[in-house]
Amino acid sequence: MQKNKMAVWGGLTNSCERREAKSKGEKERYKHLNAEVQRIARRDKKAFLSDQCKEREENNRTGKTRDLFKKIRNTKGIFHAKMGSIKDRNGMDLTEAEDIKKRWQEYTEELYKKDLHDPDNHDGVITDLEPDILECEVKWALESITTNKASGGDGIPVEIFQIQKDDAVKVLHSICQQIWKTQQWPQDWKRSVFIPIPKKGNAKECSNYCTIKLISHASKVMLKILQARLQQYVNCELPNVQAGFRKGRGTRDQIANIRWIMEKAKEFQKSIYFCFIDYAKAFDCVDHNQLWKILKEMGIPDHLICLLRNLYAGQEATVRTGHGTTDWFQIGKGVHQGCILSPCLFNLYAEYIMRNDGLEETQAGIKIAGRNINNLSAPLPGWIPLGRVLQDHPPLSSSAPNLEPVPPHPLFLSHLLSSDHLNHLEDLIMYIDTCKLGFLVLFPVVF
C-alpha cells in the first residue's frame, strides 16, 4: 500500500516523547512509549482505511467508477506489468530484452505482411471531391473524442486540444482541409504503436496476444469526420441482422433473439441448430486491395476511398514491450484494433462475403412473421463464408445439419477448424434442451 499523508496524527506527541526517551537512554520509558505509539498508529490506520473504504463504497453506489478506481490505485499503487520470456518461432524460450523485442517485431511484421503478388494499383489523386470539411464538424469531432485514453506515438493527448478550444479547432480544421483536398496524410498520423494485450492461452506465445493500436489523438479528429461521412453509405448497405458495431444495437440484441427462438422452439417442441463461427485474427487478416474494391462496389465515393487508401498506404508501426519499443516497420494488411474506422470497414468487408456466399438465396432457416431468418451477426457474422454445410443447411436451421471442414477463404485467409484438430467433430456440439449448438472456430492460415 502506498504511504498516505494524514493531516493530523494522534500519536505525534507520543512519537516525540519516544524519541526523547531513546536519546536519554531511558529504556523502560522508551519501551512503554513505543508500545503506545504503535497502538495509536494501528488504531488511526484502521480508522483511516475505514474512511477510505466508505468513500469507495459511496463511489461504487453512485456509479462514479473513475473516482472509485483512482482511489483504489492510490491505495494499491500503480501496477507495472512485467513481460517475461516469450518463445521464438521454433518454440525456444527468449529471455534477453533485445531478443524479445526482435521476436515481437518479427511476429508483428509477419502478421501484417502484405502479399507481394497483389500490388496496389492506385490511380492517384481524385479530382471529384466531396463537400469541404466545416469548422463545426471539427469542433463536433474534437468534443466527441473520448478522454482519458492512451496517446499515440506523439504523446499528445486530446485533452490538450480540448483545452485550447477555438484555437485548436482552427488549426485542426486547416490541417484536415489540407488532407481533404490533397488526399495525403501527415506521416506522423500514419504511425502507430502496438500494445500486446495477453488473451487466454500460453502467455509465452505471441499469437495469444491481441495487438491494440495507439494512434495520434490529433488524427482521430479527421478519422471521426471521415467516419461520419461514411456512415450514411454504411447504413444503407448493412442488413438488419448485423448488430455489431452499430449505433442503437449490439450483441445483447442478438442474444435476446437467440433466447427467444430457443424458448419458442421448446414451446412447440422443435429442434433448432445454431452454428457459431468465430474468426481468429479477423481484423488482422483484411486484405487492403480487396477492401478498396468492396467499398467501390458498395457505392462509396471515390474521394473517400482515396483518403482511406492513402491512410493505409505507407503505414508504419512499432511494438511497445516491457523491454522498450521495437524498430519501425511497414503495415501491409489488416484493419487495426483501436482505430475509429476499423469496425465500420470490417462490417462492410464481412457483409460482402455474406452477399457472395449464397446464403440469402437459400430457403432454409426459420420462418418468423413470413420472413426467413438463417443468420444473426453480432459482432461477427454467424455464418460460414464460402463453406459447405451438407444437405444445404445454413448456420441457423430447424433441421439437422452435417458440418464439414471449410477451405481457406480468399478474403480472410482463414479456415474452419477441421476434425483433424480435435478428437471428434462431435466435440463441437453442445445440447441445450431441444436445441443443438455447433461451435466452429476460424484459424488463420500462415503463408
> What tens digit of pLDDT does each residue of 351-363 get?
887 777 665 565 5
Counting Cα atoms < 13 Å in the Cβ hemisphere of 206 gives 26
Encoded amino acid at 59, one letter: N
- Confirm whether 112 is domain-assigned: yes
**pTM listed for this prediction:** 0.71
Answer yes or no: is pLDDT of 79 > 90. Answer: no
CB distance 153 to 216 below 8 Å = yes
- Confirm whether 295 is domain-assigned: yes
CB distance 421 to 406 below 8 Å = no
Residues 219 and 252 in one domain: no
Answer yes or no: is pLDDT of 130 > 70. Answer: yes
pLDDT for the residue 324:
87
Lowest-confidence range among 272-281, 290-299, 369-378? 369-378
Residues 6+ apart with CB under 8 A from 231: 344
In which residue are the cell numbers 488532407 written?
179
CB distance 414 to 405 below 8 Å = no
Angle between helices 288-297 and 302-312 (to 10 degrees): 170
Residues 206 and 146 in one domain: yes
pLDDT for the residue 261:
79
SS3 209: strand
DSSP element (H, E) containing 435: strand 435-444
Residues 102 and 163 in one domain: yes
Answer yes or no: is pLDDT of 222 > 60. Answer: yes
Measured between alpha carbons, how far is 185 from 178 in angstroms, rounded to an integer? Answer: 9
pLDDT for the residue 106:
92
- Confirm whether 132 is domain-assigned: yes
Backbone Cα Rg of the chain: 29
Residues 393 and 273 in one domain: yes
pLDDT for the residue 218:
92
Answer yes or no: is pLDDT of 137 > 90. Answer: yes
Cell numbers standing for residue 236: 444503407
- Confirm whether 85 is domain-assigned: no
Residues 279 and 293 in one domain: no
Mean pLDDT of 11-25: 73
Q: What percent of the chain has pLDDT over 90?
A: 20
Measured between alpha carbons, how far is 43 from 49 in angstroms, rounded to an integer? Answer: 10
Cell numbers standing for residue 216: 495520434
Residues 134 and 232 in one domain: yes
pLDDT for the residue 80:
63
At residue 13 the predicted structure's pLDDT band, cuts being 50, 70 and 90, is low
- Confirm whether 374 is domain-assigned: yes
How many domains are contained in the chain?
3
pLDDT for the residue 303:
92
pLDDT for the residue 285:
79
pLDDT single digits (tens) 291-348: 899 999 988 999 999 999 999 888 899 999 888 899 999 888 888 777 888 888 888 8
Mean pLDDT of 18-35: 80
Residues 201 and 303 in one domain: yes
- Confirm whether 328 is domain-assigned: yes
Residues 63 and 167 in one domain: no
Residues 67 and 195 in one domain: no
CB distance 105 to 317 below 8 Å = no
pLDDT single digits (tens) 108-127: 988 888 765 555 656 566 77
Residues 280 and 135 in one domain: no
At residue 265 the predicted structure's pLDDT band, cuts being 50, 70 and 90, is confident
Mean pLDDT of 140-151: 90
Answer yes or no: is pLDDT of 427 > 70. Answer: no
pLDDT for the residue 223:
93
SS3 273: strand
- Confirm whether 109 is domain-assigned: yes
pLDDT for the residue 380:
44
At residue 226 the predicted structure's pLDDT band, cuts being 50, 70 and 90, is very high
In which residue are the cell numbers 495509536 written?
40
Of the residues 276, 297, 332, the one at which a domain ends: 332
pLDDT for the residue 185:
93
Residues 44 and 171 in one domain: no
CB atoms within 10 A of CB 363: 9
Answer yes or no: is pLDDT of 439 > 60. Answer: no
Q: Which residues of 209-220 are buried (b: 16+ CB within 10 A; e: fewer)?
A: bebbbbbbbbbb
- Confirm whether 164 is domain-assigned: yes
Domain that holds residue 197: 91-239+288-332
Of the residues 273, 297, 332, the one at which a domain ends: 332
Rounded to the nearest integer, the mean pLDDT of the chain is 76
pLDDT for the residue 186:
92
CB atoms within 10 A of CB 155: 10
Of the residues 305, 332, 359, the one at which a domain ends: 332
Measured between alpha carbons, how far is 160 from 202 in angstroms, rounded to an integer? Answer: 39
Does residue 29 or residue 358 have the better pLDDT?
Answer: 29
pLDDT for the residue 276:
66
At residue 134 the predicted structure's pLDDT band, cuts being 50, 70 and 90, is very high
Angle between helices 27-62 and 65-76 (to 10 degrees): 160
pLDDT for the residue 6:
47
Residues 167 and 59 in one domain: no
Answer yes or no: is pLDDT of 221 > 80. Answer: yes
Peptide bond just before 395 cis, omega within 30 deg: no
pLDDT single digits (tens) 196-218: 988 888 888 888 888 888 999 99
